[in-house]
Structure 1
Amino acid sequence: MQTTKYNHRLIARVTIEAETPLAIGSGKKSILTDATINRDANYLPFIPGTTLAGLIRHAIDEELADRLMGFIKKKNDKNGEYEVEGSRLIVTEAKLLNCKGKAIDGLLNLETACDDEDKAFLEDFKHAPIRQHAKINHRGITEDKGKFDEEVVPKGARFCFEMELIANPKSEEELAEYKQNFKDLLGILVADGFRVGGKSRNGFGKIKVVGEACLYRELDLSLPADLDLYLKKSASLAEAWNGFEPLKLEKPQESRYTRYELKITPKDFLFFGSGFGNEDVDHSYIKERYITWDGEGNSGRWNSQDNSLVVPASSVKGALAHRTAYHYNKECGIFAENLSPEDFNKYVGKRNKAVFALFGSEGNEDETQPTEAPTGERTDGKRRGHVLFADIIRNKEEKTDKKIHNHVKIDRFTGGAIDGALFDEEALIVHPDEPEEIEFELLVDVDELINEDQRIIQAFEKALKDVCEGMLPLGGNVNKGYGQFEGKLYKDGNCIYE
């Protein structure tokens, strides 16, 4: 048996912050929600190391992934022999940080191990936000079984994890290559399009590396001083280690994404529904608590939901998908009056070629390809979305106020109110002296399927321009005049509509 000595260790400790909510699913449900988040033994959110390792592997090329993260390949089909190599990369779980910026690692009694400030901060994670969803079809109504909800990790939550690369270079050149490869892996964390967790195409999962830097150290265990330093390092993320030095992370220069930016302002009323009412109204707009940190990152606090402005990306995505289908069908000369009822459904929703190419599909019940799907695509009609969205969660402007609208349904024969049909809703009204400017970023991963038909991108850009013109309202109750915007559209930094 051959023994391989890995004398070199490249170690990094990274702190990340959720810029949007994270959907770190546990695969379970509870009495409160259809999908719960992952929680550790302290009942606090955490990110599994397998999640981080999988995301990093997916973001790098196959050759580098095999070199650093191992592989299993068939060597001989007849004999069933395999060529196998284990991973050189070790990734820990990402543990939640308390309000003082210290990781909560290990089994703790939070009642006795934390002071009152930490206890109050961590206690609120036991009641994480729950997002309500409804799948809307091309007729503007909720599809059957299209109502669901999910628990999310709130915006602003910080996590800490470590990555360690073990190496046995045979030369200084090979060692330098390992060092550069490891720094390239760390650079993935600040790359465009890197998301953590599920529902990344619905606005979740956007993160940032705190300070755009990490703690880093290179060790040669054949040296007594480095070996002693390595042995003194604790496995706990809560423990400091004097071997670390700061390392600035470099963002990858090449990006495969086309960046669109919507800079829009609501004309008057804004309503993204919470799915619930409150003690005052039957239907209220969505509010959500989130966390902010001071400039040095040493003090975190929860922000009140009463002052929050939340624009769920899933609402914007749905509106854009339907309008993109409309413009694409118009460009192709496909109109409803020329189609039979059987053919109509081939050109709407996930079966529309532009919607399928840009927004993806969970697959078709009959396991056939969507209309005009190119050769080589999956035959089950499944495709990952190629447009990345990000939720907007921040404090609203001081002069943006809530407005309660009262409604009553009138009997068309008697002219009187119908019994039980009195209801009200709470929306936001924007003050003209202090408008709410909303900056919405969309990253489009343009691949061969999108490139082969220029009408796909043209239809998508027309849908974005409709938002800027006020022709495509966003949010709920749009037929009552809510959700109209006006503004500018940018493509890779250049204004294409004003």
Structure 2
Amino acid sequence: MKHYLLARLLVSNVAPMAISSGGREHNFDTQLARDANGLPYLPATSVTGVWRTLVLREQGKALCDAIFGSSELRSSLTVSHGVVVDKQHQPVQACQSQQQLEQDDYLASLLQARPHHRERVAINDRGVAKHNAKFDQLLLPAGVRFVLTVKYEFDSAHLAQDEAKRYFAQVLSVWQQRQFALGGSTRNGLGQMALLGLDVKHVPLQKTSEHDPRTALRAFYQPDSNLAAQTEPFSAIQDWLPEGKLPAATKALCEMKVKGLDYWRFGAGVSRLKSPAEGSADRSPDILCYSEPRVTWDEPGPHLKGQHVVLCGSAIKGILAHRVAFHYCRLNKLYAEARAQDSHEDWQKRVAGVDELFGHLDEKDHDNSFAGCLMVDDCEVVYKAKDIQVRSHTSLDRFTGGVRKGALYTEELLYQPTLIIRVWLANEARFEQLDTTTKQALKATLNDLEQGLLPLGAGSGRGTSLLQPGAESREDSEMLKEVAL
């Protein structure tokens, strides 16, 4: 007899997400993927692709083919698109009018063509932007909630119900891994997903006097109450797993808590962190600390709020890559004096160890391109309101000693904020195959960061964004502990 195991998943992106349509928004390089309502959504193909890859890596090929299918066997799993959830925790119905959607402040903010974006740039060996390496990326702000349904079909004549439930629970458990991230730049901290809750239902397809499968399916796919109230934590299906145990949480390769040595700033923001007093004539600082909006869910409902100071994962990853290149060259005795006759193009090339860790892009032959082994989270910056300071800068004329015209400006800074840096392994098997020198270079770089020898942020040349030695740090990966410097 045929059976359906149905699951409704309530998920959220805990980091900004970039699922692009392939087109270009006006004045931007990318465009967010949107559904018929014009709202962002999670394409089922994107969800299934990432899901299948992780199941194959964690659970093995046999279970992966049995669930997701192969060239000889059709898939037993059906995955829907992820639809935005409104204030009432209901999935937004398809083909609604713009007037209906714009009446909801939360949905109206998601309808914007450019809800959020980040400016990106690649830095060369001289510390300046590479040629043609300045671009922007449209993003969906963190905190947006989606709902998607999953249907697993099995035949009790060939597969026992308990075994089918075990398979289903094992596949669903992958959602709790840090590596489950959707969209682009996932190794730079974007697209990280969280499973907030799920609602699982078993529906036998045989009609009896007490059970009508059509009624059961209709009730599941057309809920009439708050989805958040219906969902349960993943532990609700804990008994379905082998030995009734939840899978162990993914451990970070490295996690450290560092603090600013003095004043700190990152990037260039667009909104002031500290609003001036009412009636005050204070002008906004010329250079603002970078902050970005995030959806927060409180008692009245979701709100898109700004002023969350973030150190982007891409910035941390870039800084780590440059320091890893230094240590890799030091360990291999590749000194600058021996390359005095090299061309500028040769200096631009990254060393092999950096490519293995952080990925490689071959613009001539994309088949030679590959992703890196490391994932770096966005780092939320923790500070107090009293720590926001404004510093004035000026430039003096070398002849008169007076202020140069137009060279007086102000800068918004944070005093001794706290940062938590997390680095993860995207592919543990590939990391194990790296040579010892590359691992030593990575460990030396992380040691520099922990000891406050690696600035993170802007203005390090004039004393800002320096760090104190880490108060708390943890290396959970045995692979790094075994590496001797």
Q: TM-score range by the shorter chain?
A: 0.7 to 0.9
Tell me what 2:206 maps to: 222
SS in 2 for 1:68: helix
What residue identity is the alignment partner of 2:124?
A: N
Shift of residue 178 of structure 1? 2.4
Shift of residue 95 of structure 1? 0.8
What residue identity is the alignment partner of 1:443?
A: W
CA distance in 1, matches of 2:32, 2:101: 24
Shift of residue 467 of structure 1? 2.1
Contact 1:350–1:360 (CA under 8 A) maintained in structure 2: no
State yes or no: 1:269 paired with 2:263: yes
Cα deviation, 1:329-348, whole Å, max 9, x if unaligned, reads 111111110225438866x6
CA distance in 1, matches of 2:254, 2:312: 17
Shift of residue 145 of structure 1? 1.0
CA distance in 2, matches of 1:236, 1:162: 11
Residues 236, 390 of structure 1: CA spacing in aligned structure 2 closer, same or farther, 3 A cutoff? farther
Residues 144, 167 of structure 1: CA spacing in aligned structure 2 closer, same or farther, 3 A cutoff? same
Tell me what 2:424 maps to: 443
Question: 86, 102, 111: which one pairs with 1:126?
Answer: 111
What residue identity is the alignment partner of 1:180?
A: R
CA distance in 2, matches of 1:426, 1:302: 29
Identity %: 25
Tell me what 1:392 maps to: 379
What residue identity is the alignment partner of 2:319?
A: A
Residues 448, 238 of structure 1: CA spacing in aligned structure 2 closer, same or farther, 3 A cutoff? same
State yes or no: 1:485 paired with 2:484: no
CA distance in 2, matches of 1:245, 1:33: 38
State yes or no: 1:89 paired with 2:77: yes
CA distance in 2, matches of 1:176, 1:253: 18
Tell me what 1:139 maps to: 126
Shift of residue 468 of structure 1? 2.6
Cα deviation, 1:52-88, whole Å, max 9, x if unaligned, reads 111111111233232222222xxxxxxxxxxx43222
Tell me what 1:68 maps to: 67
Shift of residue 129 of structure 1? 0.9
SS in 2 for 1:166: strand
Shift of residue 304 of structure 1? 3.7
CA distance in 2, matches of 1:400, 1:314: 25
Question: 291, 295, 310: which one pairs with 2:295?
Answer: 291
Under a length normalisation based on structure 1, what TM-score does the superposition of the two structures give?
A: 0.81
Shift of residue 493 of structure 1? 8.3
Superposition pairs of residues 30-179 of structure 1, within 5 angstroms: 30-61=25-56, 62-72=61-71, 84-109=72-97, 111-112=99-100, 119-127=104-112, 128-171=115-158, 173=160, 175-179=161-165
Shift of residue 121 of structure 1? 1.5
Contact 1:18–1:208 (CA under 8 A) maintained in structure 2: yes
State yes or no: 1:21 paired with 2:19: no
State yes or no: 1:337 paired with 2:371: no
Shift of residue 385 of structure 1? 1.4
CA distance in 1, matches of 2:163, 2:421: 39
Cα deviation, 1:114-151, whole Å, max 9, x if unaligned, reads 8x5xx112112234111111111121100011111111
Shift of residue 169 of structure 1? 3.5
Cα deviation, 1:27-74, whole Å, max 9, x if unaligned, reads 1111132112112222211111111111111111233232222222xx
Residues 448, 305 of structure 1: CA spacing in aligned structure 2 closer, same or farther, 3 A cutoff? closer
Tell me what 1:324 maps to: 324
Shift of residue 355 of structure 1? 0.9
CA distance in 2, matches of 1:277, 1:158: 25
CA distance in 2, matches of 1:200, 1:108: 32
Contact 1:257–1:446 (CA under 8 A) maintained in structure 2: no
CA distance in 2, matches of 1:231, 1:448: 43
CA distance in 1, matches of 2:163, 2:19: 33
Question: 382, 385, 405: which one pairs with 2:392?
Answer: 405
Cα deviation, 1:195-216, whole Å, max 9, x if unaligned, reads 1221101110112111xx3100
Under a length normalisation based on structure 2, what TM-score does the superposition of the two structures give?
A: 0.83
CA distance in 1, matches of 2:223, 2:345: 53
What residue identity is the alignment partner of 2:88?
A: K
Shift of residue 406 of structure 1? 2.6
Shift of residue 314 of structure 1? 0.8
Residues 139, 489 of structure 1: CA spacing in aligned structure 2 closer, same or farther, 3 A cutoff? farther
Contact 1:402–1:428 (CA under 8 A) maintained in structure 2: yes
CA distance in 2, matches of 1:240, 1:7: 30
CA distance in 2, matches of 1:113, 1:292: 19
Shift of residue 311 of structure 1? 1.2
Tell me what 2:309 maps to: 309
Which ranges in structure 1 are unaligned for 5 or more consecutive residues?
1-5, 73-83, 368-378
Residues 46, 345 of structure 1: CA spacing in aligned structure 2 closer, same or farther, 3 A cutoff? same
Residues 133, 452 of structure 1: CA spacing in aligned structure 2 closer, same or farther, 3 A cutoff? closer
What residue identity is the alignment partner of 2:52?
A: R
**Structure with more of its chain in strand, by fraction:** 1
Contact 2:21–2:33 (CA under 8 A) maintained in structure 1: yes
SS in 2 for 1:47: coil
CA distance in 2, matches of 1:330, 1:191: 35
Tell me what 2:7 maps to: 12
Shift of residue 360 of structure 1? 0.7
SS in 2 for 1:288: strand
Residues 450, 391 of structure 1: CA spacing in aligned structure 2 closer, same or farther, 3 A cutoff? same
SS in 1 for 2:141: coil
Tell me what 1:192 maps to: 178
Residues 449, 340 of structure 1: CA spacing in aligned structure 2 closer, same or farther, 3 A cutoff? farther
Contact 1:336–1:344 (CA under 8 A) maintained in structure 2: no
Shift of residue 264 of structure 1? 0.7
Contact 1:103–1:237 (CA under 8 A) maintained in structure 2: no
CA distance in 2, matches of 1:353, 1:479: 28
Contact 1:215–1:245 (CA under 8 A) maintained in structure 2: yes
CA distance in 2, matches of 1:67, 1:322: 43
CA distance in 2, matches of 1:165, 1:485: 50
CA distance in 2, matches of 1:70, 1:171: 16
What residue identity is the alignment partner of 1:383?
A: F
Cα deviation, 1:131-182, whole Å, max 9, x if unaligned, reads 1111111211000111111111111111111110111242453x33322111
- When the two chains are superposed, the root-mean-square deviation of aligned CA atoms in Å is 3.1
State yes or no: 1:467 paired with 2:449: yes
SS in 1 for 2:176: coil
